[in-house]
Chain A
Amino acid sequence: MNPVSFDPLASGPLLAGAVLATVASLWLLLPNGRDTTTARWLGASLGLAALAAFIATGRRLGGLGEEAVFLIVSLVAVISAAATIVSRSPVYAAIWFALSLAGVAGVLLVLGAQFLGVATIVVYAGAILVMFLFVLMLAQPAGLASYDRVSNEPFLSALAGAVLLGVLSLSIGRLSAGPASCCDLPTRATATPLTATPSAAEGIAAPATAPVATVVDPLAENHVARLGGELFGRHLVAVEAAGVLLLVALIGAIAVVSRGEAAHAAEATTATGPAAGRSAAR
């Protein structure tokens, strides 16, 4: 469908180079117990080279402004994600993960998912990450622990991740080369007119957005109201199941904490050595 479509001969070596640079960069940057500054600088520059190669294989979006915004938020997300997994200190890893969440929320906003972008910030950065930080404050010993300075098989893990990334990028790049048979189906949101939903009928923003839109996003109009309608209409049973799941997780967490404390105390009183304690727990 697109005449300027995917050219595997042009972007294949670039992709292979990006994968190799990713392997080397992650292998140099992951904690290996040595902590040399040259390895860090080399790994960081190789990682930036891999990022540049991935940007070069990416597609040009329509407008310059949209492209710049998408590039900035996705770079924030990806670079802080890489910093999360290579940070020695778990507290810094959590902070980098919060920044990565901000980037992911920006990507979701660019994609038009307003509710999900805000919900990611609120639920992840506001609740889950703070819980992680509480556990870190409770459990982290002073200083840098020895198990934070080494890692399990860094080369093989980096190779596995980069090969997965290369295969995924290859299949993503081939999306345009195939026939557009998948996309001709009328989906529900486009097949049904917007005024069919009761929330869209009294929409105020409808006449203002209509003439300037070049890229048609059928989900943009009355976004949150229609998402809520979809969620509580078609997926009502799943919402109930999710509520039950939250309740079960809450009860389970409390039960494990209270029974674990009791078992730990009983084990500490009855057994003396660690081997005897383990057999007592069994």
Chain B
Amino acid sequence: MNTMQSLPLLQNALTVGAILFSLGLVGILTRRNLIVMFLAAEMMLQGISVSLVAWSRYHGDWGGHVLVIFVLTVAACEAAVALVFVLQAFSRTGRLDAAAWQSLREANVGRTIDHELPAIDTVPLRFPTLAPAGVLPPADENEPLQREHV
């Protein structure tokens, strides 16, 4: 095995995996949207996968590849079960907020208090318009259901 050539590749790939893992850690610690927290957890799994494949390449062994396949399997199971719980939590509180469940916190942990946020100056969206032609369609009664921006 040519370790002189593959050691820099191993180190660079491990660094990429470490960066992905750390960014996922920051995301899951600090974000409050439940969906974004799960995205961050998946990102940590991606970092682990990159590291495992890098070690597998370095040692010329199949173990890392096989382990990453099982990581994919467990991630799929985790996403299914977690999204069910997120939907249940949303149907109970109406929010995707982790702090909506802060009554589950420890007794000595302070309460999360939301302060008033400054309003965002949203620029109204400008869509291209066509020249009016034909009959004006009736007004859509589902108009308030359509969201203005994501």
Contacts and interface: CB of A to CB of B under 8 A. Distances in A.
Interface string B74-88: 111111110111111
Interface residues of A, number: 113
A216 B56 contact: no
B1 A54 contact: no
Interface residue SS majority, chain B: helix
A204 interface: no
Contact of A161 (B23, B66, B149): B23
A92 B12 contact: no
B16 A152 contact: no
A127 B1 CA distance: 37
Interface string A53-96: 01001111110000000100010011001101101011111100
A119 interface: yes
B60 A173 contact: no
Interface residues of B, number: 90
Contacts of A30: 26, 30
B26 A26 contact: yes
B77 A33 contact: no
A142 interface: yes
B77 A112 contact: no
A196 interface: no
Contact of B5 (A62, A87, A256): A62
Nearest to A62: B5
Interface in A1-32: 1-2, 26, 30-31
Given A33-B118, A138-B87, A139-B96, A160 B29 contact: yes
Contacts of A35: 118, 120
Contacts of A252: 81, 84
A251 to B, nearest CB: 10
Contact of B117 (A113, A149, A172, A176): A149
